[in-house]
Structure 1
């Protein structure tokens, strides 16, 4: 169940418009690599230490591949890709790496996660 809280926001394009409230998804705890390794070990014949080693190697290799500019596809899980935000310039010739303001990760969920997103349930929390 996804927890929601009300969030009051103003309209940045029109300060005269009254503020509105929106639903904002909030975290309900954290699951780290150790917890994932524990869960996987309980669902298989693989020991927690082995699961943790594989998950840490996966994390390391995804990071390395993204650092090389590669798109990382993890089957039905989804796809990771580096994206950037940059300043705009008038001509194509002016584009350079110096325009990059920041980098971020894009995640495109696979089919299973897309299906999950369509069937989520929600709970308003105070």
Structure 2
């Protein structure tokens, strides 16, 4: 496994006058959609590609639905999805209402095997 990276200059947001420093940033070669995943899965088992695609679409639908109900979605060894929020700080707990929420996002916590993949991946400079 090998991930490409490029080098990007970045300013220090806390000190705009400081000279830029250079950082590595991972870049993707391409993306893999549900069609491709269904195809790959169908080659690895006895289920047809269209059946795999139907299951993946159903999985997507149900993850969205369950997250919308405020549940943590646990996908076994793959990891967990959960809704997270950021809000304005208030002086008292009673002042914190839904209108204080400024941002929502999907949090993903990878499982042990997915985190372990990072230990065996190598990096190569693009270009």
Q: Could you say which TM-score interval applies, normalised by the shorter chain?
A: over 0.9
Matches within 5 A, 1:15-94: 15-94=16-95
1:5, 1:87 → 2: CA distance?
36
2:69, 2:126 → 1: CA distance?
42
Partner deviation per Cα, 1:48-105 (whole Å, 9 max, x = no partner): 0000000000000000000000000011000000011222222211101001112111
Q: Which runs of 4+ in 1 moved over 2 A?
A: none
* Ranges in structure 1 where 5+ consecutive residues have no aligned partner: none
Give the CA RMSD over aligned residues: 0.9
2:53, 2:15 → 1: CA distance?
50
1:15, 1:61 → 2: CA distance?
45
Measure how far apart 1:11 and its partner are.
0.5
1:90, 1:17 → 2: CA distance?
36
TM-score (norm 1): 0.96
2:22, 2:94 → 1: CA distance?
44
Partner deviation per Cα, 1:29-54 (whole Å, 9 max, x = no partner): 01000000000000111000000000
The size of the alignment, in residue pairs, is 126
TM-score (norm 2): 0.95
